[in-house]
Amino acid sequence: DTEVTQTPKHLVMGMTNKKSLKCEQHMGHRAMYWYKQKAKKPPELMFVYSYEKLSINESVPSRFSPECPNSSLLNLHLHALQPEDSALYLCASSQTSGRGYQETQYFGPGTRLLVL
Amino acid sequence: SQQGEEDPQALSIQEGENATMNCSYKTSINNLQWYRQNSGRGLVHLILIRSNEREKHSGRLRVTLDTSKKSSSLLITASRAADTASYFCATDLVGGSEKLVFGKGTKLTVNP
């Protein structure tokens, strides 16, 4: 199973709402990632979890709160977002090389978020 | 700033033709990866080429890496309409943290 699943596929939320994005993989990968992608732009890394611990936070505003409950699940909690946060949010996972190399990342289909 | 820069930004060809996309980068890498993204969907991994490799093939895809020029190219032979997508190179930097840095991408359109 080389699939990364993400729910929901689409999300519309107001600026005062709290919502969560979910990501799941069953490939035994110990590295998981959140990316944000605006239209016609490359993915921008937000967070990296390695062995369920946050290893990289790319200076993401605190209105985005990641969580890794176990090795298969990754959540992104959203609160008080701004309209400019509207984007495609992608989750990915990969093996960890143990030698500092980045291995192939497997991406989910994404959640398209619209903030009104 | 983006590590990888793809060239061209957009490419339009006819079915059956070959498509070549280039990626340049600035600092030493462990490996370079190519991904494809269909409109509004997730990215799909195509090929990973390590810094000590010069060429890799996968089906109709051929990737070359020239570390002296800090550049890579992706060749798609005998293109099909289904190859229409955005293609991104992503670099794994030497001494970098556990992440890939994506280039701006090339938008490929294959006309039937």
Per residue in B54-93, pLDDT (tens digit) is: 999 999 999 999 999 999 999 999 999 999 999 999 999 8
Q: Residue B40: pLDDT above 70?
A: yes
Cα–Cα distance between B106 and B12 in angstroms, integer? Answer: 10
* Cβ A56 vs Cβ B97: under 8 Å: yes
Alpha helices in B66-112 (DSSP H): none
- Dihedral sign for Cα A110, A111, A114, B3, please: negative
Q: What are the structure tokens assigned to A83, written together?
A: 């309209």
Q: Residue A100: pLDDT above 80?
A: no
For residues A48-67, average pLDDT: 95
pLDDT band at B2 (very low <50, low <70, confident <90, very high): very low
**Would you call B81 helix, strand, or coil by DSSP?**
helix
With tokens 């729910």, the residue in question is A7
With tokens 């992706």, the residue in question is B74
Interface test with B, best of A102, A105, A111, A113 (most B CBs within 10 A): A102
Q: Across the interface, which of B88, B98, B102 has its CB nearest the CB of A50?
A: B98
With tokens 């369920």, the residue in question is A52
Q: Report the pLDDT value the prediction gives residue B50, as an integer from 0 to 100.
A: 95
Query: Chain A: nearest CA to B60, how far in angstroms?
Result: 19
Q: Report the pLDDT value the prediction gives residue B1, as an integer from 0 to 100.
A: 43
